[in-house]
Structures are given as structure tokens and as C-alpha cells.
Amino acid sequence: MKIPHRFAWSGLVCALLAAGASLPVLAQAESAEVLEAVALPGKKTKASAVSTYIVRLKEAPVVAYDGDIPGLKATRPGKGRKIDPESRAVLDYAGYLQARHDAVLASHGGGSKVHSYVYSFNGFAARMSAGQAKQLEASPGVMAVWQDEELHLDTNRTPTFLGLDAAGGLWSQLGGTGTAGEGIIIGMVDSGFWPENASFSDRDSAGKLVYQNVPHWPGKCHPGEAFNASHCNQKVIGARYYNQGFGGDAAVKARYPNDFNSPRDGNGHGSHTASTAGGNANVSALVNGINLGAISGMAPRARLSIYKSCYGNAATSACFTSDSVAAIDQAVADGVDVLNYSISGSTTSNVDAVQVAFLFAVDAGVFVAAAAGNSGPGASTVAHNAPWMTTVAAGTHDRLYSSGVTLGNEVSYFGVSVHGGTTSTKTILAQDAGAAGMPAGQVLQCWSNNTGGGLNPPTGPAGNRLDPAKVAGKIVVCDRGGNARVDKSEAVRAAGGIGVILTNVLTGSNTLDPDPHVVPTVHVSSANRQAIYDYVIAQGVAATSKLAPSVITGGPIAPDVASFSSRGPARAAGGDVLKPDIMAPGVSVLAVTSPAIGNPFDFYQGTSMASPHIAGIAALFKQRHPTWSPAMIKSALMTSASQLRSNGTAIAGGPFAFGSGQVNANGAVDAGLVFDAGFNDWLGFLCGTGEAAGAACVTLKIDPSDLNYPSIAIGTLPGRQTVRRTVKNVGSSMADYTSAVVAPTGLTVTVVPPMLSIAPGASKFYDVTFDRTTATIGTYALGSVTWSDGTHAVRSPFAVRPVLITNPPEVVSTGAGFTYPVTFGYDGNFNVLARGMATPSTILGSVGDDPTDAFVRGGPGTVEIPVTIPSGTTVARFALFDTDVDGAHDLDLYIYQGATLVGVSAGGTSNEAVTFAAAGAFGTLPLTVVVHGFETAAAVANFKLFTWYAGAPAGNMAATGTPSTVTKNSTGSVSVTFSGLAPATRYVGGVLHRNGTASLATTVVTVNTP
């Protein structure tokens, strides 16, 4: 059968888990006394409440439409080409899609349409009730409906640190800073830009125009508050803003009165990311009279197109998904080459609205860089796990603004600062300098009125937190956290202080940040905090300190992974994709900000700052290799990345912290081999993860680990597994490559064939087999496979997690028997044991409505019910049902073990269930079930809480497993039959999978008899 060049992703069903869905919590031991903690769910919306929803329809967007509708010509651009949004074909098809949006919305009760998306995403955003949205989701032609989310921004020296300006470096290969990035357009979906900054000028310092017009550019410069069309130029060639998802101009002003309803940046974040990616070269960063040096974007001659979808102030930000999707959609229509997205996102799904929009953008040839998130260093916190996006971790770099603090006892402590020093001055702890009536925590952190009472809404009483009578003329010791670092010096200055010692705290970030403050400030580590506190407390009013002037030095050992940078393993795709992909500088990055919040330049940190480094470098690669696909560029960057610090030691943290390593742009230019992938590959991946289904999956579905990706991940390795990769020789001559494996003890890794001879432009595949011998079960084994021809080293990191068995977590039936597959990760015996089926007990209860609609344990609208899972239980379930409450209520379940939340089910009705399954059997487990009255139809909702405890066999279920003797990576099956089940009864049970002597895992069995 001939496979089409590209399958349309229409008629496929997105298999998304609903926000309130519960999966079994699988204990990993024969007897589990401590259950795994879970997070509280996101904010819910009442069924009657009107909110914004994003609706995706089945037809292809403009960039993917192949002309299968009579009378409408194809609009999908050819390889290497961009769509023309003004062409007749595009206008006709876009008009058709918009009419479809209106018709679908009208047929389901209408609503206020907020956005129509047609270019990289086919759908719309509209205001409607939750009930309408649920009906719409079930209608033909609708692929998915998502409630709009409020997301947030993931918030000089780096070109040199990355080697771009080195002799023979990438800039020089492209003709120097005067041409590096020329002809490439970088789109920034962010908080706007500050147009007056020299980084965004199209003229040199003498006022001479040094940029030329971009021919056939369809982008627009939208006028708005404090912004008109003249603020765009031949450097920033487009600027638009989107706030309808936010609620329009009035809603923005109500929440962020000092931000702008225009592309002008009132937050600083967008200016910072834009100037990092593509700001002009050698712009002097002058702040408060301090020359911080010259800054340059990664692609200094690239053009910028700004798409503002985020709003905020110095402390907080908000970006609604509906606005961001509109920005992405327009950026693709405009014809950007690269998109940067430094906004938070999903950690669990590859097919939310943003990532679907990016899927079609990348298919249209747009390289997408996205921030990994700032939720580290905890495991499985990484966001943006879709394999078509390049997910960027944050690391340190090697410029240091050295300073220090010398106390009155002549003991000195290292710190960083950009300021001149002070003389020996009276010193006071902020905790002792509070103004009357101010919150103690805000006093300790030196909040100014701008952060406290000046916020909208205020976070405390108006006024500065520090007392001028106590602070005037002194240096103040302020704790990090709570407010912006520069806000602390604002508070000290407002109270008459002359300097700040800013101390890290043990539970906070460990970075030292040389921010430009309004009074001399030295930032010291948490290790030095206690000694400074002890001295000041002991000396009392006699305490003094002296701040040393800043000295700019190079050469600190770098990079290290930032503590805040989100880590893998990825929760999406069952851990079968290794994220983050790569690391770039994201700590103390100097770039443009917004004078609306303070300084025109500032040091920011976050994966937000790392991502535009990769976006800018990708722009250079687009210029250097114009025919390369986004996947090829990504591959070159990943396989050439470095895992070493500047002193030759290994970067700590491993691939779940930094992906393939620190970006090495110069080394990536001549990549040797690349791993390419396209739409069909990604669709096959989604079929394999269960996030897509339909006829195309019959042909395209793959094991997600087999995606042709520059790294390798296997989230569940049943003893032995082989994955396949295909590499393309992008060199100019025949090359002979030899593989080399670095593998941990207990894991055998074999590459077949071990050598590849590849002609220029040709591709060849190879297989990698992972065979667990003694590697720890349930723990990731890490290593790498590197191909070398003596000139190039093409490295793929791997992360594989051995398991003893793979089995479905749950099977649901109406009473008919069934069979399910299992895969084994060991050599030995296999048998199964039936547990249950158990019938439920019920507990009657009642709960009132929560007027706050925000769950807090012990808060309004909650009732607590103590329960105990009996010893020997394999499966326990707690559930509510719409049919067993006395009205149209929306009740939710929260399960606690002591003070720890271990289970939650919070859907849109009272159909809620939380299930716990042990690999063998639980010991006695006291728990507390909390029922929350999120929305009740009366003052009080009466309910039945159903409880099941399945342990001993009940004689009504039989299970048989085959074969009885198994080997690694072999498959088997389990057959389950039932007898004597009563009608109209809800049963819960489980099947224990055993190796003859010990239990390995449990499959939950649910039966609802008619």
C-alpha cells in the first residue's frame, strides 16, 4: 500500500484525560503504608458559569489543507515555502473555516466568539457556559474543547560564553554581526517590546538607516495605547497584541493598570526575550549611571515580529491560552521562521491547544523554542514535552560581578553586585525595621508599597513595610523571596536607607543575581546569611557593615543547571520522550526590559531567558542551512551539545536536568548526521501515546520510543527492547561512522549495525537494543550512544526505566469476560490471582455549598469522613455518583493520609472516584475522605459515599495468566471471567500479577452490571 506523503489529522479523536479524571494510584510494594502525594487540581468553573473555551474542529488548518473539499483549492505550502495570507485560495479556505466556526457555535446555543483560528489551528475561542462546552465537545466535527487557561511567563556576556563571536565562530561564518541572522524573522509570543530601546532600532548610532525593507512581508503594526505604526521599523517589522481572552482592554486595565493595551511592553519580559533572541549587536546597557557593558542578541541581524499575549507588572503576569493560540496562528500566517514561547504550559499533555498549534506551525517549517518551566528541581516538572518543540532548560554562564560584605568584626563574605561600594555604615536586620502594623513576612523581605498595598488587588496595607525612623542612613539586611529583588532596594531607599545586603534563604533559589538596584546592594548566599544575622543580632545597634565595589570578572566555572529549571522525566507520553532537550544560559542574563517597571536593561533569570537563546541560534541555522527542517536544526543542536563545564568536569544533574547538554552552536553547524522527522512521524507518535486515534493510526502508529528523535527514552522497559533510529548524512562526502556506547552497570546496550557508511545526502537506520541484567527496577538507567567518523561526534543520550511487567492499570466491563495483554521484564514463572469482586458499602453524608468555589481543607463547604483501608486490601475505591445525590450538585472528593493529599477527583459533576491499588496488599491505612460542595443545587447536598475494599477472593471472578514460564520482553495474556454477579451492581476487584512467589503489579477490574 502506498502511504500518502502526509496524513491529514482530521477525523481523529484526541484521547485527553479530563481535568478531574482519576487513575489508580499504584503502590510499588507488597505492603504500602505511605501513599504518593498528589497536587491539588487547577481552578474549576461552575457548570452555569460563563467562561472562555477553545474549540478545535476536524478540518485541517490553512497550512495543512491539501484541497480535499470541492471548490476550495489546496493551501498547504510546498516544502521551504510560506503561505500567502492574501492569496485567493487562502482567503477562500480561511473564510470557509470561519463560517464553519460560526455555524458550529450557533448550533449549540450560540455564544460570544473571542477568536477565530484558521492558519495553524482550526477552531475558535468563545464565551459559553460549561454545559454548552460539554455538549459541543460531543458533537460531530469537534475534535476537542478546552477551557481557557491563565498561564504565566517563565521568568552581554552570553554570545561570548556560547562562542558565537569567537574567531571562526558562527557569527563570523555568517559574515559577522552585520549579517548574522539577515533575512530571518523571529516571532516572539510574549509581553510585547519597548520600541525606543536601541536593541530594536533600524538605525545606527549616527541615525543612519541600516536595515532594508523585507519584501512581501504581510505582517502588521497594530496601533494602541502609547503605540502607533511608526514604532515598527525595518528591525521590528510587525507588532500585534491580543487581549480578548483576557477580557479586553478594560479587563487588562483593571488587573494591570500600568500595562499597555498595545504591543508596548509594560512587564519587561517580552523586551528581554526579544532582545536576547534577535536584538541589535553592541548596544550599551546603561542603568542608573552604571555601564553594564554591551549586549547583543543571538541573531543580531534577524528581524523581529512581536505578538503580545501576556500582560503584567514587575511581580506577576497572565497569559490566556486563547490569546496565545491567536498569536501563534497569526505568526504562522505572517511567515515567521522561528517562534519563541517563554510561557508556562502543560506537563502532561502533548495535544493541548497551544501544542497542536505548534504542531502545524512546525509542519509549516517554523522552528519553535519553548521554556522548560521554572518548577525545578523537583522531578517530572518539565513542561512543553511535545517532540516537535525544542524544550530549553536554564543554566549559568561565566560572567561575574564580584563584590562582598565586610562586617564590623572584619569578617568578609562573598557576594555579587553591579554597584560602587559604601563606607562602614550602621546595619540593621529588616525584621527589626518594620513599620507598625505591617505583615512580618513582608517586612523581612523588604516590600515596598509598589509590591504591597500598591498592587491591584493589594496584598496588604498601603505604605512601605520599613520604618524610616529605624532605617534612615543604614544598610538593611533583606531576605530574598516574596517580591522582586529590586523592589527590596526600593523599599530601603524609600525609608532612607543607603544600602542592602540581600540574603538567599535555605528554602529558596540559590542563584546570586547582580541586579541594578537603586541603592548599593550586595547579594549573598544562604550559607553566609546565618553568619551575617548572628553578627547583627549580637552587636545590636553597634552593628556595621561595608559593601565592596563591583569588579567584573570572567571565568567562573560554568555552566551549572539552575536550581529552578524544571526537570524530567516527562510525565507526558509515559516517559517515552526525553525532556528537556537542551540547555542555554538562563541565570543573570542581561537584556532589555521595560522602563515602565524600572530599568531599561536588567538581569533576569528563568527558562524564559534560556529559550530565546535557542530561538536566536535556530535563526542563525535557518540562515546557514535554509533547506533544513526544524527537526534537523533541533537534531544538530542536541547531538553536538556539551556535557562539560568550563573546567572539564561534568555538568551535574544528567539528561533530566539539561537534556542533551549545553548548546554548542559552533559545533552544531557541521553536524555530520541528523535525525529528521515530520508530521507523519509525530502523528504516529501521538497514535502510540493514545493521544490520537483514527484510520491514520492503523498505518502510522509506532511505539513512542521509536520516534526518530535525537535522544532515546523508554518509560517502561520490560527487560529488553529495541528502538530504531534513522540518520541522514548532511556532510559533503562519504563518511564511515562507528558507534560507541556509554551504559551503566546492569544494562547491556547493543547497536546494530555498529558501523555505518553513508553517502552525502543519504540516510540509514540502526537499531539499539537495551537489555536489563541487574539494573535497578523502577529507576532510570542513563547513558549515551555516540556515532563518530573522526571529525564529527553525534551523541544521543538515553534514559530507560526497567520494569518487571507492563499491564493495563484498569479494565472496565459490564460483566462479560475479557482478555488483556502483558509484557514481561524477567525470566521465570508467571501466575495471577483474583482479588474480589467486592460490592460497595455506603456512608450517608451531607455538605453545604462553598461560596468561595476554592477548596481548602477545613474550609467552607467541606465535610470530613474518616475511613480505614483494611490490612490485606489490594484495591480500594471511594466514589460518588450523580444518581446517588439528591440534586444537580457538583461534589468533589479529596483523600488525605494524615496531612498529605494522596487522591483527588474534581470533575464537573458528582461522578467522582479515587482508586488505590497495591502491587500486592496494603497494610492498615487510615485515611480521611473530604467531600467538597463546589456547587450545590440547594443549601445542603445529601450524598452517599461508596467504598470498596477488594482483598480476598470472593468467588465471583476467575483469572488465568499464560504462559506459566516467561522470558524478558516476551508477551502473555490474562483472561478474566465472572460468575454469580448480581444485576445493577457496581463491583471492584483486581488481578495480581506474580512471578510465582511475589506480586509485581495489579490491574484494577471494574464491573457495572446492567
Task: Tell me if 774 sits within 8 A of 740, measured CB to CB.
Answer: no
Task: Tell me if 407 sits within 8 A of 544, measured CB to CB.
Answer: yes
- Per CATH, the homologous superfamily of domain 45-148 is Peptidase S8 propeptide/proteinase inhibitor I9 (3.30.70.80)
Query: Residue ranges per domain, the chain?
Result: 45-148, 180-397+559-639, 399-554, 711-803, 806-1008
Region 730-747: mean pLDDT is: 97
Region 105-125: mean pLDDT is: 93
| Range picked from 19-33, 242-256, 390-404 for highest mean pLDDT | 242-256
Q: What separation in angstroms does the CA of 458 have from each of 259, 449, 450, 461, 614?
A: 17, 9, 9, 7, 37
Task: Tell me if 117 sits within 8 A of 357, measured CB to CB.
Answer: yes
Mean pLDDT of the chain: 92
Give the per-residue pLDDT at 552. Answer: 74
pLDDT at residue 455 tops 80: no
Give the per-residue pLDDT at 919. Answer: 85
Region 723-731: mean pLDDT is: 98
**Domain covering 399-554 assigned CATH 3.50.30.30 in the classification:** yes
Q: Which residue has the higher pLDDT, 33 or 857?
A: 857
Task: Tell me if 164 sits within 8 A of 238, measured CB to CB.
Answer: no
Give the per-residue pLDDT at 634. Answer: 99
pLDDT at residue 18 tops 50: no
The CA dihedral of 811, 814, 820, 826, to the nearest 10 degrees, is: 50
Q: Which residue has the cell 545590636?
A: 540
pLDDT at residue 774 tops 90: yes
- At 71, list the grid cell: 471548490
Q: pLDDT band for position 460 (50/70/90)?
A: low
Q: How many CB atoms lie within 10 A of CB 167?
A: 6
Q: pLDDT band for position 507 (50/70/90)?
A: confident
Topology of domain 806-1008 in CATH is Jelly Rolls (2.60.120)
- pLDDT tens, 289-339? 788 888 999 999 999 999 999 999 877 899 999 999 999 999 999 999 999
In CATH, the architecture of 711-803 is Sandwich (2.60)
Q: pLDDT band for position 155 (50/70/90)?
A: low
Which CATH number is 180-397+559-639's, of 3.40.50.1820, 2.70.150.10, 3.40.50.200, 3.40.350.10? 3.40.50.200
Q: What percent of the chain has pLDDT over 70?
A: 95
Q: pLDDT band for position 547 (50/70/90)?
A: very high
Give the per-residue pLDDT at 21. Answer: 32
Q: Which residue has the higher pLDDT, 207 or 510?
A: 207
Region 401-410: mean pLDDT is: 93
Q: Which residues are catalytic?
A: 190, 269, 608
pLDDT at residue 924 tops 80: yes
- pLDDT tens, 248-271? 999 999 999 999 999 999 999 999
Nearest to 335 by CA among 84, 110, 550, 582: 84
Region 976-996: mean pLDDT is: 97
Give the per-residue pLDDT at 457. Answer: 52
pLDDT at residue 835 tops 70: yes
Region 761-784: mean pLDDT is: 97
Give the per-residue pLDDT at 28. Answer: 32
Give the per-residue pLDDT at 6. Answer: 37
Give the per-residue pLDDT at 10. Answer: 36
- pLDDT tens, 676-685? 999 999 999 9
User: DSSP letter string over 453-501?
Assistant: TTSSS-SS-SS-SB-HHHHTTSEEEEESSSS-HHHHHHHHHHTT--EEE
